[in-house]
Homo-oligomer: A and B are copies of this chain.
Amino acid sequence: MVTRAERRATDPDLGVLSGRLLFAVQRELFATLATQGFDDLKYRHGAVLAYLTADGVRATELSRLSGQHKQIIGTLVDELEALGYLERRPDPSDRRAKLVCPTERGLAQMRAADAIVDGIEARHAERLGAKNYRLFKQMFRELTEPPPGSEPPD
């Protein structure tokens, strides 16, 4: 008989696997960013930075995309604004709303982060073979859409 401990070790479930992968990516991403001058970022800032675009995004949209409370997004935007990564600009199309826009430093961070993650993925592609890795990611995307009913809590 195979004990649960053995199965856990040889065939971790999907939750464990995705947790490991998420933390591994986060760790490497932020550690590398830190060596490139972006040493004032914390993991949680990723919820905003990961979905930021050059054109600006509304806070509510960031909340929806990241699955975080609007309140939390507000705090993160405050912090990132104080750190000089982004700024709030009025949304021309809706005077209630504000667009969260990257500054020059924010754009640099986005480019750096994209390059680092691309590097991680390239390493994985090398390990599995390019064709296999494309297949892996294709299946990964299929399993995670639609954005898992991820209505933000608020």
A residues engaging B (CB < 8 A)? 3-5, 8, 11-27, 29, 46, 50-51, 53-55, 57, 67, 110, 114, 117, 120-121, 124, 127-128, 132-133, 135-137, 139-144, 147-150
A140 to B133, CA, bound (A): 10
Name the one of B5, B55, B147 contacting A5, with C-beta atoms under 8 angstroms.
Answer: B55
B150 with A4: CB separation less than 8 A: no
B53 with A5: CB separation less than 8 A: yes
By secondary structure, the A interface counts as helix
Given A14-B137, A17-B144, A27-B149: 8 more A-B contacts, CB < 8 Å: A3-B54, A8-B53, A13-B121, A15-B50, A18-B19, A18-B21, A20-B144, A23-B150
